[in-house]
A and B are shown apart, each in its own frame.
Chain A
């Protein structure tokens, strides 16, 4: 396999041809924040948190979907990038109704963790306060659109790993919503196998186990890695 050599944050690194900047960075212990990306799923570049500066002009590229190239120069930590990432989290927080203190995923939430890590101590934009529904028609699980960041992890894990494609996205912009099947209540979905993969994949408290109380919804995002290793390598590592 051909190897590409590039520079990330002044450090010379090499990566196999076809690898993404994100993969190359992680291989070399360089942390780039991500939200929609989940190992084992296809990448969509939806959240834009992994933006990096590429080349002398500092062109903004999403690290999760940009392939490495020979002599590429990448910067992952610049004042501009830090500001943009912070702003992305702030915009996510304003777009829906995230109330950490009474959320089922409090202390177990990737959005919350990112906000803390990126220094989001207040929000500079106006909240939209949309009126959004909670769907708890499913026997085991519920989805609260107030807490959804439209990362589409649930859509991808359902389609690519479970193979049933119950979830999809309807609408555009601020009207975009995660829907089950033909926009019917989750409990009436003819395709859902109740496998619960979307619950574990969801980065926030948007998809949760029924009956969860405040801060009780711990998620095990390693389950996907386990599942893929089991399938691909026939190894059941627990």
Chain B
């Protein structure tokens, strides 16, 4: 099977305050229509998602994080996940399941945006737009770094580090 290049998945509940920030990021990226980039905006991950992931070489999960202080983008590994039955599937758990069932995983990153309020309703974060813009910028730099010339790579790795599949 010929693999497509990038999959970017925004995860969150659009009516749980800052939980929606990850989805705002991918919706913003969708408007840019970057070549070779597929966008998914989802309320939550399900085991069936592994079947989408395996069609891509690189995947970026974008999620809100209550413990985070700033926008971050880091490589994601699948190891060490033992999740009991639950309706909540983390990106790591999906990767672990994919690796166990197919033996390989795409290069993966997790972009997180600091969440302050997960209360009922839309995000009222006054810095929301800035956070989303920052995450979009980091993701664009990462995609460019993985596809561009070494000159760009230097800059990109300083900013976000390089991804790894393991």
What residues of chain A have their CB less than 8 Å away from a CB belonging to chain B?
A: 119, 121-122
* Alpha-carbon distance A148/B47, docked complex (angstroms): 42
- With A119-B122, A121-B15, A121-B120 known, 5 other A-B pairs at CB within 8 A are A121-B121, A121-B122, A122-B15, A122-B120, A122-B121
Contacts of A122 in B (CB 8 A): 15, 120-121
**Distance A173 CA – B78 CA, assembled complex (angstroms):** 61
Which residue on chain B has the smallest CB distance to residue A124? B121
Number of A-B contacts (CB under 8 A): 8
In the complex, chain B residues whose CB is within 8 Å of the CB of A119 = 122
Query: B63 to chain A: closest CB distance in Å?
Result: 20
Instruction: Find chain B residues with CB under 8 A from A121 CB.
Output: 15, 120-122
Closest to B16 in A: A121
B122 contact set on A, CB distance < 8 A: 119, 121
Q: What does DSSP make chain A's interface, helix, strand, loop or mixed?
A: loop
Measured as residues with beta carbon below 8 angstroms from the partner, the interface class of chain B is: under 10
Q: How far is the CA of A119 from the CA of B15 in the complex (A)?
A: 11
CB-CB nearest in chain A for B123: A121
In the complex, the chain A residue whose C-beta lies closest to that of B15 is A121
B120: A residues at CB distance < 8 A:
121-122
Shortest CB–CB separation between residue B115 and chain A, in angstroms?
A: 16
Render B44-85 as a binary contact track against A, CB cut-off 8 A, 1 for contact. 000000000000000000000000000000000000000000
A3 to B15, CA, bound (A): 47
* Min distance, Cβ A76 to any Cβ of chain B, angstroms: 22
Q: How far is the CB of A147 from chain B (nearest CB, A)?
A: 22
Quote the shortest CB–CB distance from A119 to chain B (angstroms): 6
B15 contacts which chain A residues (CB < 8 A)? 121-122
CB distance from B19 to the nearest CB of A (A): 12
Q: Which of B1-34 contact A (CB under 8 A)?
A: 15
State the 6 A-B residue pairs at the shortest beta-carbon distance, nearest first.
A121-B121, A121-B122, A122-B121, A122-B120, A121-B15, A119-B122
Inter-chain CA distance A121–B122, complex, in Å, is 6
Nearest chain A CB to B146's CB is how many angstroms away? 37
Q: How far is the CA of A122 from the CA of B121 in the complex (A)?
A: 6
Question: How far is A166 from B120 in the complex, measured between Cα atoms in Å?
Answer: 43
A119 CA to B122 CA in the complex, in Å? 8
A121 to B15, CA, bound (A): 7
**What's the nearest-Cβ distance from chain B to residue A44, in Å?**
31
CA distance A119 to B123 in the complex (A): 10
Determine how close the nearest CB of chain A comes to the CB of B124; give it in whole angstroms.
9
Quick one: closest A residue to B122, CB to CB? Answer: A121
Q: Could you tell me the distance between the alpha carbons of A122 and B122 in the complex, rounded to whole angstroms?
A: 8
**Mind listing 8 A-B residue pairs with CB under 8 Å?**
A119-B122, A121-B15, A121-B120, A121-B121, A121-B122, A122-B15, A122-B120, A122-B121
Most A Cβ at <10 Å: residue of B15, B120, B122: B122
**What CA separation (Å) do A78 and B39 show in the bound complex?**
35
Q: Which residues of A contact B121 (CB under 8 A)?
A: 121-122
The smallest beta-carbon distance between A125 and chain B, in angstroms, is 14
Q: How far is the CA of A121 from the CA of B123 in the complex (A)?
A: 9
Cα(A122)–Cα(B14), bound, Å: 12
Expressed in whole angstroms, the Cα–Cα distance for A201 and B33 within the complex equals 38
**Whose C-beta in chain A lies nearest to the C-beta of B17?**
A121
A121 CA to B121 CA, complexed, in Å: 5
Q: Please report which residues of chain B, range 93-132, place their CB below 8 angstroms from some CB of chain A when the two chains form the complex.
A: 120-122
Rounded to whole angstroms, the CA-CA distance of A119 and B128 in the bound complex is 15
Closest to B119 in A: A122
Min distance, Cβ A72 to any Cβ of chain B, angstroms: 34
Min CB–CB distance A82 → chain B (angstroms): 13
**A36, chain B: closest CB distance, angstroms:** 26
* Chain A: minimal CB distance from B28 (Å): 18
The distance in angstroms between the C-alpha atoms of A121 and B16, with both chains bound, is 10
